[in-house]
């Protein structure tokens, strides 16, 4: 989950949880066998697709529309878990090439900023926010990595992981919490205009500060992994996941606002540290990111990207990408690009898909199981018409 997108991946905008009234499952009533059977079957397809065994296929993900990102659900463990379980169980019944893959120990986007002294602010029905506590570069020039256990939100994340494991008897995957990137986190700790200016034109002044944030991300990710144990879901939050994959998911929303020069010096080095450490990174960003794709692709072990594409319907991103910018930016890279696209914009696939563009579609705005079947069929038929015109991979093999 990134800044400004108060919805779960694949969902349509829902103002309040109270607007929906499904029967929420308890851990004891969750259909574990059914969910895990469907999950395994769909993951087998994803694994084969990733290895090139389904040429002409494009995975289509359709998840239930529900809002977990508000005051009540974030603050209340039990309610948050119930909505998470409901989404997972329901996703296994809908037409889709994947299920919603994991439990999420989500506790706001300011988690890493909180460790540096920023306080959570709870405001109405929104998720908790943080406010910068530093205004000048010299105030953070010599800052050291803080103790993660001194942060109440970080302790809460670890406690939720332990509790999830206990109440589900270790039967379900769990992902890491929403990991904001080093750049994103720095802009929450330090006044944003000052941070952008200094990190772009005098990045050496913030190097210790940025490395301290990166150290914390690495350290706390390992703490979460230890608590999650064998059911770790990777890359995690927002991403297409598979048990055989490596790397962690990182929300890198500032990518949309930074110039290529700024992104190169103030984001890529620290994303690269994380990618090297965890043998991969998957990057989410809201907003238009086309101007930075070529720079982003310099990140070693970049496994996956998550973003949106739209022309008319902007239910999951107020500033979505054009299909062409994603297609042309990532084609030939072998990076999986998970693209959120509204159910009404199936025609955009003509402008999005390409033989050398590794695309996964997360279709938003779907409201019922019956509608999921219709939307899935419509998208798959469109994909088949498009890919039928592509060259046969077997015909291009060199002997």
pLDDT (tens, 9 = 90+) of the chain, 399 residues, equals 454 333 344 333 333 444 567 889 999 999 999 999 999 999 999 999 999 999 999 999 999 987 776 667 888 899 999 999 999 999 999 999 999 999 999 999 999 999 999 999 988 777 899 999 999 999 999 999 999 999 999 999 999 999 999 999 999 999 999 999 999 999 999 999 999 999 999 999 999 999 999 999 999 999 999 999 999 999 999 999 999 999 999 999 999 999 999 999 999 999 999 999 999 999 999 999 999 999 999 999 999 999 999 877 777 788 899 999 999 999 999 999 999 999 999 999 999 999 999 999 999 999 999 999 999 999 999 999 999 999 887 665 554
The C-alpha atoms of residue 4 and residue 316 are separated, in whole angstroms, by 10
| Strand order from edge to edge, sheet including 248-251 | 60-62, 359-364, 336-342, 302-308, 281-284, 248-251
H helices of 331-368, in order, are 349-352
Query: Which secondary structure element, helix H or strand E, spans residue 375, and what is its range?
Result: helix 369-387
Which burial class, exposed, middle or buried, applies to 370 when counting CB atoms under 10 A from its CB (0-12, 13-18, 19+)?
exposed
Please tell me what DSSP assigns to residue 284.
E
Encode burial over 331-369: b for 16+ CB neighbours within 10 A, e otherwise: bebebbbbbbbbbebbebbeebbbeebbbbbbbbbbeee
Q: With CA atoms as reference, report the closest residue to 1 among 286, 233, 245.
A: 286
209: tokens are: 């500060």
Tell me, what's the pLDDT at 9? Answer: 44
Q: Is 93 helix (H, G, I), strand (E, B) or coil?
A: coil
Please tell me the predicted confidence (pLDDT) of residue 336: 98
Residues 6+ apart with CB under 8 A from 219: 145, 148
Distance CA 237, CA 101 (A): 9
Backbone angles phi and psi of 45, in degrees to 5: -65, -45
CA distance 365 to 343: 6
**17-389: what CATH class?**
alpha beta
Q: What is the pTM of this model?
A: 0.93
């Amino acid at each position: 989950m990134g800044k400004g997108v108060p919805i779960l991946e694949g969902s349509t905008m829902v103002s309040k949880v109270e607007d929906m009234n499904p029967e929420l499952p308890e851990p004891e009533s969750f259909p574990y066998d059914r969910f895990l059977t469907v999950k395994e079957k769909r993951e087998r397809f994803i694994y084969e697709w990733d290895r090139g065994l389904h040429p002409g296929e494009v995975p289509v993900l359709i998840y239930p529309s529900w809002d977990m990102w508000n005051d009540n659900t974030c603050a209340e463990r039990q309610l948050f878990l119930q909505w998470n379980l409901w989404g997972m169980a329901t996703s296994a019944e809908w037409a889709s090439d994947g299920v919603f893959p994991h439990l999420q120990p989500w506790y706001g986007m300011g988690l890493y900023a909180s460790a540096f002294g920023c306080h959570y602010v709870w405001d109405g029905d929104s998720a908790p926010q943080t406010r910068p506590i530093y205004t000048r570069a010299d105030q953070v020039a010599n800052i050291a990595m803080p103790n993660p256990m001194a942060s109440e939100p970080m302790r809460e994340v670890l406690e939720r992981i332990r509790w999830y494991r206990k109440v589900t008897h270790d039967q379900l995957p769990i992902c890491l919490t929403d990991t904001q990137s080093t750049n994103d986190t720095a802009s929450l700790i330090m006044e944003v205009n000052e941070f952008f200016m200094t990190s772009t034109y005098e990045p050496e002044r913030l190097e210790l500060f940025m490395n301290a944030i990166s150290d914390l991300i690495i350290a706390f990710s390992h703490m979460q992994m230890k608590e999650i144990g064998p059911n770790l879901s990777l890359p995690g939050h927002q991403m297409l996941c598979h048990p055989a994959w490596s790397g962690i998911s990182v929300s890198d929303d500032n990518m949309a606002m930074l110039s290529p020069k700024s992104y190169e010096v103030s984001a890529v080095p620290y994303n690269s540290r994380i990618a090297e450490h965890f043998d991969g990174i998957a990057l989410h960003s809201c907003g238009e990111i086309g101007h930075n794709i070529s720079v982003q692709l310099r990140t070693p072990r970049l496994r996956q990207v998550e973003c949106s594409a739209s022309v008319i319907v902007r239910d999951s991103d107020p500033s979505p990408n054009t299909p062409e910018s994603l297609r042309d930016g990532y084609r030939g890279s072998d990076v999986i690009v998970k693209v959120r696209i509204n159910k009404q914009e199936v025609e955009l696939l003509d402008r999005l898909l390409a033989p050398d563009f590794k695309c996964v579609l997360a279709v938003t705005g779907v409201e019922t199981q019956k509608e999921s079947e219709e939307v899935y069929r419509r998208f798959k038929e469109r994909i088949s018409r498009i890919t039928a015109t592509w060259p046969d991979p077997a015909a291009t093999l060199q002997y």
